[in-house]
Structure 1
């Protein structure tokens, strides 16, 4: 009888491993589409998302023009001069640029030795290789993402405590964000 219950429990947990990620993904997509649809009150589900995607693409097309770049730079210069608004705008713009812009910052995964005596190391990404302008020669800025969160910490460490990793940044980010349970198996298969 115990073996039967054990098998049923094992099957149940195997089912959970399959169902939960799928359910969470569907929920996240559905919630996002519903939220976007609520911004643009339309009778058809998903139409708000389609309109937003088309609008964003059209804005991207418009801003790829040289004349548009000058207009955007002038508008940005005005926005940045507004107290508080300028900080929010420039910070969010820099963050988006770090992930998808021409100035991607999370493209060099590194291993940081935090405490050599205890052998403590952390995974992160170099965001600035030269901190001379801050009066910190020989130091680099490394962003350490937190697991299971959209947050992290920025540390400034001597460059000799940072070792570049020979692995795709996306896989390292996935490994960090998942708390070390995801991503490494793919790296091993690629070798």
Structure 2
């Protein structure tokens, strides 16, 4: 009887490990779609999301056009002259550019020695490899994301304590965000 109960509990937790991430992902996508739809309050569900996706794609197409690039650069210059707006706009633009676009920043995962005495290391990403302008020739800036959060710390680290890793940026980010649970192997 006790073996049957243990097997039942094991099956339950195995099912939970499969179902919970799946349901949470579907729920997040559903809530996001409902929220986006509510912004436009159109009569058909999903039409708002479709219009937003088409609008963003069209805007992306236009930004590759030379005339629009010139207008975009002009708008960037205007926005960057407004003190508080410049701070928010440029920070968000740089953050998004770090994940997508031509200037991806989280593509150089490294292992950093945090404590020499205890041989303690932390995984991070080099975001600024050259600090010569600051007179810090032997240092780099490393960003350390937090697990299960959209935050992290960045530190100026001596190059001697930084070891490049032979894994992709997305694999390293997944490893960090999952608290080390996901591992480095690609799941198929």
Task: Normalising by structure 2, report the TM-score.
Answer: 0.96
Distance 1:154 1:141 in 2: 7
Matched, 1:49 2:49: yes
CA RMSD of aligned residues (A): 1.4
Displacement of 1:136: 1.9
CA contact (8 A) 2:167 2:184 kept: no
Residue in 2 that maps onto 1:65: 65
Aligned residues: 188
Displacement of 1:186: 3.2
Alignment of structure 1 residues 150-189 onto 2, 5 Å = 150-186=150-186
Distance 1:131 1:26 in 2: 43
Q: Secondary structure at the match of 2:149?
A: coil
Displacement of 1:184: 2.3
Unaligned runs of 5+ in 2: none
Alignment of structure 1 residues 27-106 onto 2, 5 Å = 27-106=27-106
Matched, 1:109 2:115: no
Distance 1:104 1:91 in 2: 14
Cα deviation per residue 1:70-120 (whole Å; 9 max; x = unaligned)? 111111111111121110000000011111021111111100011111101
Displacement of 1:183: 3.1
Distance 2:94 2:134 in 1: 19
Q: Secondary structure at the match of 2:186?
A: helix
Displacement of 1:130: 0.7
Runs of 4+ in structure 1 off by over 4 angstroms are: none
Displacement of 1:139: 0.6
